[in-house]
Amino acid sequence: MEVVDYIIVGSGCTGAMAAATLCANGKQVVILDTGIEGNPTETNTNDFIKKRYHDQQQADFFLGKNLEALQAPTHANIPQQTAQRSFITKLTDTLLPIESTHFFPVESLALGGLGNGWGLGAYTFSANELKRVGLNEKEILNAYKLIADRIGISGETNDDASRFCHNNTIPLQPPLEINATANSLYQQYQKKKPLFSAKHISMGKPSLALLSADKDNRKSYAYNDLDFYSNEGNSAYRPNITIETLTHQGKLVYRKNWLVISFKEADYYTIVYCLNIVTKEKKEFFTKKLILAASTLSTARIILRSFNSDIKLPVLCNAYTYMPLLHWPHLGKQNIGRHCGLAQLAMFYDRFNNHEEVAMASIYNYRSLLNFRISKQLPLNYADGNKLLQLLMPALCIAGIFHPAAYQPQNFIRLHKADSITGDLLQAAYTYLGAEQENIHHTEKIYASAFSKLQCLVLKKMSTPTGASIHYAGTLPFSSKDELFHISPDGKLYGTNHVFIADGSGFSYLPGKGLTLTLMANAHNVALKTMQYE
C-alpha cells in the first residue's frame, strides 16, 4: 500500500495552484483527475483573417468536423461553445448528473477544468469584499502577488478601473492594446467622465491573465483573434500549462481517468475511493493529506457521499446579464485588423461607493465567433441579414454583467440516491427573488443608461438562466466554529483531520466580478497551511 504525501483532486485553476505551491516546497504530490482532453483541429495558420481569406479547410476549424457549432448547444449556459472547446463539458451529463428545473451550472471533467474556458479576467477583491467572503486580507494580498507572478497578468496601472481590477497590489505586465471599437467607447467615457463618476461608475482596461510580454516558455499575445479556438504560444494562462510543466519536471504525478467518488479517514492516512471512467475499475488511493479542488459542486458531491448525508447545503452563484450593444459610430468600419476576442474594457458600478457590492461589466467585441451565430437569431431573411451584419459587426459589442451574490434561503444543493454511474444525482435550486432581484434590475438599468451615454444602442437585455455566470461557491462556508459541513479558516474540512478544501466552497459571499484570481490565491494559501499540519 503506497501512501503519498498529498493527493489533490482536480486539475483546474485551484488544483494547479495548490499543486504548484506544494511542489515548490518539495512535497510528493499526486493529482487525481478525470482529465478529459481536447482534440485540437490542425490548422495552417493561427491568424483569424489569414484563415478566413486563405484556408480552404477553415470550415472544419470554425464549424467543427461534425458541424458541432451548428448543432443544438450541449448545455443551456454555453450557447456559443466552439467545437475546439466542447471537451470542457464532455461526459458531465452522465458523470455529474444534476436535477434542477431552473439552475444549470456548467461543470468540467477536463484536464484544466473550467480554466480551459476562463475569460482570463484576473481581479483582486477589496478589503470589504474579502471580509464578506471570509478570507484574511493580509494573507490573500500576499498570495495575489505570488499568483500574479506565477501566471502572468497584464493590466493598466493608472486608469479609473485600476482600483477595482487590482488596486496596484500585484505585479503587472503592460496592458494589452484594445480594439478600435473598444477604444472609441473608452474615448467617449473619458469625455463624459464626470457623468459616470456621479453615478459611481468607473471604466478602464481589464487585467487579464494574458501575456503582453514573453514569460518563461510562453509567448506574448499576437492579436490573432482565435481566443475561442486555440491558445497560440500559451499566451493565455490555462491550468494545464502548470500541470504539464510540473509533470515534465518530475515534481508531480498526474493520474487521469479517475473520478473521485468519496474518501474515508483511517488513523494516519485517508483512503480515496475512485472510479476509472474508461475501464469502470474501482480503486483506492492512500494519502496523508487530501486536498479537494474539484470545483464547488463536485467537492460537495464527494463530501456528501463521504459523510453519507442528504443534508441541504447552501450555494452561491452570480446572476449574469448579457447586453448586446451597437456602438453606432462604428457601423461599417473596417474590421480586418489586429483584434482580440477577450474582454476589452471593464466597467464597475459601485452602488454604495464602498467597494463592497460592486457589479462588474466586461465588454467584448464580437468577431471570431462568426456571423452565422447571430444571423439565425435575427427576425430577417438570411440574405439581407448577412448584408446587414457585415455593416453591424464592427460596431457590435457584448457586455456581460456580473451581479454580487449573498446567501438566500431558497438556494441549495442536495445529493439524492439515484440510478446513475455514481449512484446519485445532485438536486439543485437557485432563484433570484425579492431584494436581490430588485438589485439586479436596478444594476441593469444603470448599465443600460451608462452604455447609451457611450453612444451605444442596447439591442437587448438578456437575463441568462441561473448558472450562466459559471461562478459557484459557498457550499461549505468558512467558519471559526468547529461544525460539520463548514471549513476552518485554514481550509480544513471540519469533522476530518487531514482533508482540506482548496476551491471556492468556503466563500461566504460572491462579489460581482471575476473570482478566479482569488480562487487561485486561496488555493495557494490552503496548500501552504496544509504543510503546517505536519
Which residues make up the interface to another protein (CB under 8 A)?
A: 49, 52-56, 58-59, 62-63, 66-67, 69-71, 328, 331-336, 370-372, 375-376, 378-394
Comparison of 3 and 180: residue with beta carbon closer to another protein: 180
Comparison of 314 and 329: residue with beta carbon closer to another protein: 329
CA 227, distance to chain mean position in Å, is 15
- Nearest approach in angstroms of CB 50 to another protein is 10
Contact between residue 470 and residue 477 where contact means Cβ atoms under 8 Å apart: no
C-alpha cell at 140: 490573500
Comparison of 317 and 370: residue with beta carbon closer to another protein: 370
Per the listing, cell 435550486 goes with: 429
**Using alpha carbons only, what angle is made at residue 386 by residues 187 and 321, rounded to the nearest 5 degrees?**
50
- Nearest approach in angstroms of CB 384 to another protein is 4
- Nearest approach in angstroms of CB 40 to another protein is 17
- Nearest approach in angstroms of CB 312 to another protein is 38
Comparison of 70 and 435: residue with beta carbon closer to another protein: 70
- Nearest approach in angstroms of CB 239 to another protein is 31
- Nearest approach in angstroms of CB 528 to another protein is 49
Comparison of 328 and 352: residue with beta carbon closer to another protein: 328
Going by C-beta distance under 8 Å and a sequence separation of 6 or more, which residues neighbour residue 176? 154, 205, 208, 210, 212, 221, 340
- Nearest approach in angstroms of CB 463 to another protein is 19
Q: Is the dihedral of CA 207, 208, 212, 216 positive or negative?
A: positive
Query: How many residues in total does the chain contain?
Result: 534
Bridge-based pairing of strands 3-9 and 29-32 is parallel
Bridge-based pairing of strands 29-32 and 252-255 is parallel
- Nearest approach in angstroms of CB 49 to another protein is 8
Per the listing, cell 448528473 goes with: 97
- Nearest approach in angstroms of CB 451 to another protein is 18
- Nearest approach in angstroms of CB 341 to another protein is 15
Contact between residue 330 and residue 395 where contact means Cβ atoms under 8 Å apart: yes
How many CB atoms lie under 10 A from the CB of residue 452? 12
Comparison of 49 and 458: residue with beta carbon closer to another protein: 49
Phi-psi region of 280 (alpha: psi -120 to 50; beta: other; left: phi over 0): left
- Nearest approach in angstroms of CB 162 to another protein is 33
Contact between residue 531 and residue 21 where contact means Cβ atoms under 8 Å apart: no
Contact between residue 80 and residue 88 where contact means Cβ atoms under 8 Å apart: no
E strand segments, 451-509: 456-458, 462-463, 472-473, 499-501
Comparison of 392 and 454: residue with beta carbon closer to another protein: 392
Secondary element (H or E) of residue 20: helix 13-24
Expressed in percent and rounded to 5, the helix, strand and coil fractions of the chain are 30, 25, 45
- Nearest approach in angstroms of CB 392 to another protein is 7
**Dist. CA 260–CA 76, nearest whole Å:** 26
- Nearest approach in angstroms of CB 323 to another protein is 19
Helical H runs in 401-515? 434-453
Comparison of 58 and 362: residue with beta carbon closer to another protein: 58
Comparison of 380 and 484: residue with beta carbon closer to another protein: 380
In three-state form (DSSP H/G/I as H, E/B as E, the rest C), the secondary structure along 360-423 is EEEEEECCCCCCHHHHCCCCCCHHHHHHHHHHHHHHEEEEEEECCECCCCCCEEEEEECCCCCC
Comparison of 14 and 230: residue with beta carbon closer to another protein: 230
Comparison of 25 and 66: residue with beta carbon closer to another protein: 66
What are the φ/ψ torsions at residue 292 (nearest 5 degrees)?
-90, 120
Secondary element (H or E) of residue 182: helix 180-191
Comparison of 354 and 390: residue with beta carbon closer to another protein: 390
Per the listing, cell 515534481 goes with: 251
- Report the SS3 class of residue 385: helix
- Report the SS3 class of residue 478: strand
- How far the first Cα of the chain sits from its last, in Å, is 21
Half-sphere exposure of 441 (CA within 13 A, CB side): 7
| DSSP per-residue string spanning 320-332 | EEEEEEEEGGGTT
Comparison of 336 and 433: residue with beta carbon closer to another protein: 336
